[in-house]
Structure 1
């Protein structure tokens, strides 16, 4: 079994979330139960959060960041921390 690169893992998670969101839209259009819709919305939210966490964790792993100094993309450790916490 081959391990997918981090970018592909993120894309897979985002595609899964897109599919779940499409299912939620269909459920609303079909007037499904509130409980089922909210359950699916929670799954979409979790999938998006996991994609965000993966992006941030890969950025931290790839970059050696000194506190207060930006990486090659201009992102500081403080900014990464804020991004991470925005997903929590």
Structure 2
């Protein structure tokens, strides 16, 4: 699978968010603020994982259809991957 610039940009943003959370912890910031930022990190990672799975799923479905195969198994694997990530 080819990972596009949008996916990489999302992870770079997450990387910056994590550095920000670490800085907040080093500065002994309020727990609520730290947890709020951690929640934002988790949300950004979840959305990136969903994007990666969706793009990969689309590619896999097209490949299976070109070969004249049923796509049910590919879809099921993608769903299981998302469920397992939670």
1:35 aligns with 2:40: no
Cα offset, 1:6, TM superposition: 6.1
Match of 2:44 in 1: 47
Length, aligned pairs only: 77
Match of 2:72 in 1: 67
**Structure with more of its chain in helix, by fraction:** 2
Which structure 1 residue ranges, 5 or more long, are not aligned?
69-75
Aligned partners of 1:79 and 1:60: how far apart in 2? 9
Which structure 2 residue ranges, 5 or more long, are not aligned?
65-70
TM value normalised by structure 2: 0.78
Structure 1 residue corresponding to 2:82, chosen from 65, 68, 84: 84
Indicate the RMSD between aligned Cα atoms, in angstroms.
Answer: 1.9
TM value normalised by structure 1: 0.76
